[in-house]
């Protein structure tokens, strides 16, 4: 995910990707990355479930297992709202 996206844009993309089961393999990411931050925020907000985060402290990374991830009902609602917002913005360009 590009670092210059807002957290809201990143959440929208993450929820879309989970909805379409885009993640087929685990990802190793830096704890400061936008993907890590977005996944953690979505988990904290109970938008997604069935996600494993395994820290790798010796190198400052974490493994994100998103292949089994699913949207919660709140995640589906959030995606619907974000989709209306961002798809509307795309049409305005």
Question: At 28, which CATH number?
Answer: 1.10.10
Residue 2 lies in a domain: no
Quote the number of domains for the chain: 1
* Structural domain contains residue 1: no
Residues 6+ apart with CB under 8 A from 86: 9, 12
Does residue 83 lie in a domain region? yes
Residue 51 lies in a domain: yes
pLDDT tens track, the chain, 93 positions: 445 789 999 999 999 999 999 999 999 999 999 999 999 999 999 999 999 999 998 998 999 999 999 999 999 999 999 999 988 755 555
CB 12 within 8 A of CB 82: yes
In a domain, 58, yes or no: yes
Domain that residue 60 falls in: 7-92
Q: Is there a domain that residue 85 lies in?
A: yes
- Reported as half-sphere exposure (CB side, CA atoms, 13 A), residue 20 has a value of 6
Q: What is the pTM of this model?
A: 0.87
């Amino acid at each position: 995910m590009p670092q210059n996206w807002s957290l809201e844009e990143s959440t929208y993309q993450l929820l879309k990707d989970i909805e379409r089961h885009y993640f087929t393999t685990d990802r190793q990411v830096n704890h400061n990355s936008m993907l890590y931050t977005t996944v953690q925020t979505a988990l904290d907000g109970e938008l997604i479930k069935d996600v494993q985060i395994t820290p790798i402290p010796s190198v400052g990374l974490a493994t994100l297992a998103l292949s089994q991830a699913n949207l919660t009902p709140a995640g589906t609602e959030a995606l619907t709202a974000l989709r209306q917002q961002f798809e509307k913005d795309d049409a305005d360009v």
